[in-house]
């Protein structure tokens, strides 16, 4: 299982042709206490970098961008019921949605952990 990151602070893990997507620890730290998430519809197809959802906190609202192109196959209903999971466990229980990859080569262009850490240091 490989984890990659976007410049917009989403993470993605890929297993076979299914990817799980969520927001990074940095993103949830910047947002503060998450109070609402708007998740995409199962079955909907998105292009890479298209807005796929919204996360709202007591401080701000932010778009959740699609790290790769594909079709939504599952959303995290537990997150819809308890948006604070995005704060308490952003890299596991706080995942947002799962997507069936339409172009697996897009994953290769995303940042690994080292490159993402460099992005954070330089921003």
Q: What is the CATH number of the domain that holds 75?
A: 2.40.50.100
* Parent domain of 14: 2-121
Q: 43 near 71, Cβ under 8 Å?
A: yes
pLDDT of 16 > 80? The answer is: yes
pLDDT tens string 55-103: 999 999 999 999 999 999 999 999 999 999 999 999 999 999 999 999 9
Number of separate domains in the chain: 1
Q: What's the pTM value of the predicted model, to 2 decimals?
A: 0.96
pLDDT of 1 > 80? The answer is: no
Q: What is the pLDDT of residue 28?
A: 95
**Rg for the chain, CA atoms, rounded:** 13
Q: What is the DSSP string of 25-85?
A: HHHHHHH-SEEEEEPPPTT-EE-TT-EEEEEEESS-EEEEE-SS-EEEEEE-HHHHH-TTH
d(CA 111, CA 7): 8
Q: What six digits make up the tokens of 50?
A: 């298209």
């Amino acid at each position: 299982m490989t984890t990659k990151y976007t410049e917009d602070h989403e993470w993605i893990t890929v297993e076979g042709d299914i990817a799980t997507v969520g927001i990074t620890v940095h993103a949830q730290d910047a947002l503060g206490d998450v109070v609402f998430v708007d998740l995409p519809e199962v079955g909907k197809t998105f292009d890479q970098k298209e807005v796929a959802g919204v996360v709202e906190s007591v401080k701000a609202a932010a778009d959740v961008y699609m790290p790769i192109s594909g079709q939504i196959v599952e959303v995290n209903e537990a997150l819809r019921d308890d948006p604070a999971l995005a704060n308490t466990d952003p890299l596991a229980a706080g995942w947002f949605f799962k997507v069936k990859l339409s172009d697996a080569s897009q994953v290769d262009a995303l940042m690994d952990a080292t490159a993402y850490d460099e992005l954070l240091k330089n921003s």
